[in-house]
Chains A and B, each alone.
Chain A
Amino acid sequence: MAAVKINQLAVDELPWTIEYDRSKCAMCGKCVAACSFGALKVDVLKIKKTQAKVDEDGFTKEEETWAQPYIKQVVSHTNYCRGCGICKKVCANNAIKPVRNEREVYGTRYRCATGESVKRGGRCNIHTEGRTLDKIKVGRISQMTDPSLDALRHTFDMRTPLGRVMSAENMTFDVKDGNLELKSNMPTNRWIYPIIIGDMSIGALSWRMWEAVAIATAYLNEELGIPIRMCTGEGGIPERLLKSRYLKYMILQIASGHFGWDRIINSMPDMIEDPAGILIKIGQGAKPGDGGLLMAKKVVKHIQEIRGVPKSDLLSPPNHQGLYSIEESVQKMFLSMNAAFKFKVPVAIKVAASSTSVSVYNNLLRDPYNIVGGFFLDGLDGGTGAAHEISLNHTGHPIVSKLRDCYLAAVHQGKQGQIPLWAGGGMGMNGNLAADTFKMICLGANGVFAGRLILQMAGCVGNDFGKCNACNTDLCPVGIATQNPLLVNRLDIDRVAENIVNYFKATDTELKKLLAPVGNSSLPVGRSDALVTVDKNVAERLQIQHVC
């Protein structure tokens, strides 16, 4: 009798199990070939058939044994099924699919076997309660006394500023012939769409995916007049783009790893346009207090070139090594980035939402140099290409109340709007980016940024219930978050760009469909009286109307 191997990983301990119907299987092998994780293999079943026969000699036993090939789930700590469902997509006969194993213990088994923490991509997969934004409705509808607008016929001014906004008292004007004339230079403001495509680097994304996003951004601006901007993430930017006129749609990110900045700085003499902005990333909502992470598997040759690094795990430090205080960061980093672009490009900061966000924002609002051009707050529902699961699932701060707190802190100082507030982390998580954007704007945001949703527009199969989340493995089955040429080729650039363009076209219409009933033709920043909620706690916390 075989020994029972109780310490070996078992299939029913994995997060996903393969449901396979051998009777439907044509043995074409497509599922095995398509599974980027190597979680399927062709194996052989030994089938034995025994029959009892009765004849004049009495009972006799007849045995027949044969082998039959079948698809078998691999049981492994590394090559295990992520539930991506590509096998199901390629199977003509619907013979195979992954099924979520609610009683899985993979995380425990992995830690026991390797002594390492679990890493993955995606976003928080623990859901303890409903989304706050979904509990809020746009409830202040114009009726009779202030007519609703017509979303299709009225014109709407959809732009919002990025860059330090000076108070009226601090703007120096001369009055000449009844006209105001600016006496001195002012911080740069850029008027952009209230949604930024946020911070996904080349490296985390495949080059084809990143290019598709860049193409969509340019198309939205140049063909549809939707002035959306795209943030590069911390991973550099192709040199050709740096020297092109499309640079004006790109917000360049610098984080603690400074990846790609060598190339950016070297390209500066050849830039024919200024970038849309600079975003200094201090923290990220998906893994607050932790730095960026790009596994060596994904640091292929072109990534090494763009980032200026050797092939190795790229771990951005959790903080900027040269900075130890807010004031110092203003002095050093903001000033130097502003100076580098001759004070013509807004320099903003991105921090993970935290209990301390209000203090930081308050401090920056008091900055006498007026040099901080935007405060990007990233909540815990933000996504990432790679992080320790403990960070994803157990650290972070929801974005909604923190955004509101920051806005009200600015109101308290009488400085609302002076450092534009941008909120991200789970925007469009329910599929509707326009609704989330509108509600966040009413709560005080000048705009929002979204990343994870963009991947879903491109065909990402992952979700927040343990599906796929393998962005860190270089095995992304749809070619979005991998540098493996075979997998990347699965992605159709033009199709992805088209999807993104179409989504934003729809979003623009939907935003207007929310502006119109509240009777506004410009963005209602801070207009929280337009919102209501049936949740009393949410109402109290956000200072909006409680309804029932």
Chain B
Amino acid sequence: MCRIGAIKSKKYIHPSKALELMRSQQKGHDNSGFAFVMQDLGGIFEKYKDLPTLSMACTDEGMRLAESILHSIGFVRVLQWSPEICNKDGLNIEPMPNYVFEVFQYPKSFKYAPDDEKQELLVDTRLKLRKALEEADEGYVYSFWPDVVMLKEIGDPRDIGTYFNLWHPNSDFTAKIITAQCRQNTNYDIVRYAAHPFFLQGYTALANGENTFYEKNKLFQENLYKGYIGFESDSQCFLYTLHYIHKILKWPLKYYKHTVTPLPYSDIQERQDREVLLRIKASLSNLEINGPNTIIGVTPDGTMFTLCDSKKLRPVVVARTDDMVVISSEVTGANEILPQRNIEDDIYPNEREMVVVDNNLEVERWQQ
């Protein structure tokens, strides 16, 4: 089973925390990769929160291709940073030659553009970069968005941590929100794009389990928005639905739960808002998930949440202190990060619940 975890902290934290969160949850041969998304960045990226940051793993030729595309669109680089590589013999990792995190200034013509236009430009640019690098087989473009960096790698998570020197905390590479996953999708090829977390326009989602409605999710989503591509993993559907409900339809977040795990008809009939819920159930039946899943999500304003499938066939726990909230697919992860917490405050969400963490780390339990 995939291990998933998320940390939301009042203080900036280093991704070593995410590695620790994941390590204790490992079982057996559960070791094909490690990926994480950092949002609300600190360290060297803290000054550039409004500027798009490109996260990419590529060859030299991939770098050249990407920079030429970005240059032609008018993006100007203001910062480039690469993690320190600590290669050793015997590491189980399949590294790319370059790991690049670059911050760019928007093209001049977008200086006064509304946010919507800038956001679409970033998606268009990322898709263009991805296509170019994919066609040339020269690398992977993970995200191009302000205040976000992302890394996805194939191999043993411990060795990936060692290779990128992530086991040793420092203050340069930090964030207040880190979401992470170990073991990549087992049902499909082990490729970087199939690794959670998935990210689009400020939204992050990661999940464990199996999306048994993958086919109908995918067929429906392919027509909804240009950024809904890839589908290398069935879990990408969870991100696209989140983005669709919250960003495109502009519905309040709780309707994400109503969309992916709609109440049975008989339950809806008992409610005052039955008319709205039945409309959503009918209209977005293709976005329902019916598999065993736990989903963790982050919205652009930094809200973090988790929810489960309607049969509650996957575990998750929310653990917290005053300064940190941890969502972990298994409690051992939370124990590792927050050993001193009051475990009586831990929340094990039920199948009709959505646990939401705001920027003050207040935890709300929304009952569907």
- Any B CB within 8 A of the CB of A417: yes
**How near does chain A come to B134, taking the closest CB pair, in angstroms?**
25
Number of interchain pairs (Cβ within 8 Å): 112
Q: Establish whether residues A154 and B291, one from each chain, have CB atoms under 8 Å apart when the complex forms.
A: no
Instruction: Report the bound CA distance from A393 to B213 in whole Å.
Output: 39
**How near does chain B come to A475, taking the closest CB pair, in angstroms?**
44
With beta carbons under 8 angstroms apart, the residue of A167, A178, A189, A526 that contacts B216 is A526
- Any B CB within 8 A of the CB of A374: no
Contacts of A149 in B (CB 8 A): 311
Q: Which of B271-291 contact A (CB under 8 A)?
A: 273, 275-276, 278-280, 282-286, 288, 290-291
Q: Which of B201-230 contact A (CB under 8 A)?
A: 209-210, 212-216, 219-220, 223-224
**How near does chain A come to B169, taking the closest CB pair, in angstroms?**
35
Residues of chain B at interface, number, CB under 8 A: 43
With beta carbons under 8 angstroms apart, the residue of B273, B288, B311, B313 that contacts A179 is B273
**How near does chain B come to A246, taking the closest CB pair, in angstroms?**
20
Instruction: Report the bound CA distance from A189 to B269 in whole Å.
Output: 13
Contacts of A285 in B (CB 8 A): none
- Given contact pairs A154-B311, A155-B264, A180-B255, A146 touches B212 in the complex (Cβ within 8 A): yes
- Any B CB within 8 A of the CB of A182: yes
Q: Establish whether residues A182 and B275, one from each chain, have CB atoms under 8 Å apart when the complex forms.
A: yes
- Any A CB within 8 A of the CB of B186: yes
- Any A CB within 8 A of the CB of B81: no
- Any A CB within 8 A of the CB of B252: yes
**How near does chain A come to B280, taking the closest CB pair, in angstroms?**
8
Q: Establish whether residues A180 and B282, one from each chain, have CB atoms under 8 Å apart when the complex forms.
A: no
Select from chain A the residue with minimum beta-carbon distance to B291.
A146
**How near does chain A come to B129, taking the closest CB pair, in angstroms?**
26
Chain A 511-534, CB within 8 Å of chain B: the 1/0 string? 000000011111011111100000
Contacts of B313 in A (CB 8 A): 146-147
- Any B CB within 8 A of the CB of A168: yes
Q: Establish whether residues A416 and B220, one from each chain, have CB atoms under 8 Å apart when the complex forms.
A: yes
Q: Establish whether residues A145 and B187, one from each chain, have CB atoms under 8 Å apart when the complex forms.
A: yes
- Given contact pairs A182-B276, A417-B285, A518-B212, A157 touches B265 in the complex (Cβ within 8 A): yes
**How near does chain B come to A542, taking the closest CB pair, in angstroms?**
13
Contacts of B255 in A (CB 8 A): 180
| Stretch touching chain B among A7-15, A33-41, A169-177 | A169-177
- Any A CB within 8 A of the CB of B17: no
- Any B CB within 8 A of the CB of A19: no
Instruction: Report the bound CA distance from A180 to B283 in whole Å.
Output: 14
Instruction: Report the bound CA distance from A101 to B244 in whole Å.
Output: 64
Select from chain B the residue with minimum beta-carbon distance to A161.
B282
Instruction: Report the bound CA distance from A488 to B146 in whole Å.
Output: 78
Instruction: Report the bound CA distance from A159 to B186 in whole Å.
Output: 33
Instruction: Report the bound CA distance from A167 to B244 in whole Å.
Output: 13
Q: Establish whether residues A145 and B186, one from each chain, have CB atoms under 8 Å apart when the complex forms.
A: yes
Q: Establish whether residues B283 and A521, one from each chain, have CB atoms under 8 Å apart when the complex forms.
A: no
- Any B CB within 8 A of the CB of A142: yes
Instruction: Report the bound CA distance from A149 to B249 in whole Å.
Output: 33
- Any B CB within 8 A of the CB of A166: yes
Contacts of B187 in A (CB 8 A): 145
Instruction: Report the bound CA distance from A411 to B216 in whole Å.
Output: 9
- Any A CB within 8 A of the CB of B299: no
- Given contact pairs A147-B292, A519-B291, A178 touches B254 in the complex (Cβ within 8 A): yes
**How near does chain A come to B285, taking the closest CB pair, in angstroms?**
6
- Any A CB within 8 A of the CB of B251: yes
**How near does chain B come to A162, taking the closest CB pair, in angstroms?**
10
Instruction: Report the bound CA distance from A518 to B212 in whole Å.
Output: 8
With beta carbons under 8 angstroms apart, the residue of A179, A191, A528 that contacts B215 is A528
Kindly state the interface size class of chain A when it binds its partner: 35 or more
Q: Establish whether residues B210 and A414, one from each chain, have CB atoms under 8 Å apart when the complex forms.
A: no
With beta carbons under 8 angstroms apart, the residue of B186, B224, B252, B290 that contacts A180 is B252
Instruction: Report the bound CA distance from A182 to B273 in whole Å.
Output: 10
- Any B CB within 8 A of the CB of A299: no
- Any A CB within 8 A of the CB of B32: no
With beta carbons under 8 angstroms apart, the residue of A171, A179, A528 that contacts B283 is A171
- Any A CB within 8 A of the CB of B310: yes
Instruction: Report the bound CA distance from A167 to B310 in whole Å.
Output: 24
- Given contact pairs A145-B186, A159-B265, A173-B251, A524 touches B285 in the complex (Cβ within 8 A): no
- Any B CB within 8 A of the CB of A455: no
Contacts of B310 in A (CB 8 A): 521
- Any B CB within 8 A of the CB of A186: yes
Contacts of A526 in B (CB 8 A): 215-216, 219, 286
Instruction: Report the bound CA distance from A180 to B292 in whole Å.
Output: 28
Q: Establish whether residues A416 and B292, one from each chain, have CB atoms under 8 Å apart when the complex forms.
A: no
Q: Which of A491-548 contact B (CB under 8 A)?
A: 518-522, 524-529
Instruction: Report the bound CA distance from A142 to B224 in whole Å.
Output: 29
Q: Establish whether residues A166 and B283, one from each chain, have CB atoms under 8 Å apart when the complex forms.
A: yes
- Any B CB within 8 A of the CB of A352: no
Q: Establish whether residues B276 and A146, one from each chain, have CB atoms under 8 Å apart when the complex forms.
A: no
- Given contact pairs A145-B187, A147-B292, A522-B288, A166 touches B220 in the complex (Cβ within 8 A): no
Contacts of A414 in B (CB 8 A): 220, 223-224
- Any B CB within 8 A of the CB of A181: yes
Contacts of A413 in B (CB 8 A): 223
Instruction: Report the bound CA distance from A322 to B310 in whole Å.
Output: 49
Instruction: Report the bound CA distance from A518 to B292 in whole Å.
Output: 11
**How near does chain B come to A154, taking the closest CB pair, in angstroms?**
7
**How near does chain B come to A545, taking the closest CB pair, in angstroms?**
11
Chain B 96-138, CB within 8 Å of chain A: the 1/0 string? 0000000000000000000000000000000000000000000
Q: Establish whether residues B290 and A519, one from each chain, have CB atoms under 8 Å apart when the complex forms.
A: yes
- Which residues does A use to contact B, with CB under 8 Å? 142, 145-147, 149, 154-155, 157, 159, 161, 165-169, 171, 173, 175, 178-182, 186, 189, 191, 411, 413-414, 416-417, 518-522, 524-529
Nearest first, the 4 closest Cβ-Cβ pairs linking A and B are A414-B223, A146-B210, A157-B264, A526-B216
- Which residues does B use to contact A, with CB under 8 Å? 1, 186-187, 209-210, 212-216, 219-220, 223-224, 244, 249-252, 254-255, 262, 264-266, 273, 275-276, 278-280, 282-286, 288, 290-292, 310-311, 313
A sample of 23 cross-chain residue pairs with beta-carbon separation below 8 angstroms, ordered by A number, consists of A142-B210, A146-B212, A154-B311, A161-B285, A165-B285, A166-B279, A171-B279, A178-B252, A179-B252, A180-B280, A182-B275, A182-B276, A411-B219, A416-B216, A416-B219, A518-B212, A519-B210, A521-B310, A522-B288, A522-B290, A524-B216, A524-B290, A526-B215
Known A-B contacts: A180-B276, A417-B282, A520-B213. Give 18 more (CB < 8 A).
A146-B291, A146-B292, A165-B283, A179-B276, A180-B273, A182-B275, A182-B279, A191-B265, A417-B286, A519-B291, A521-B310, A522-B290, A524-B212, A525-B285, A526-B216, A526-B219, A527-B212, A529-B215
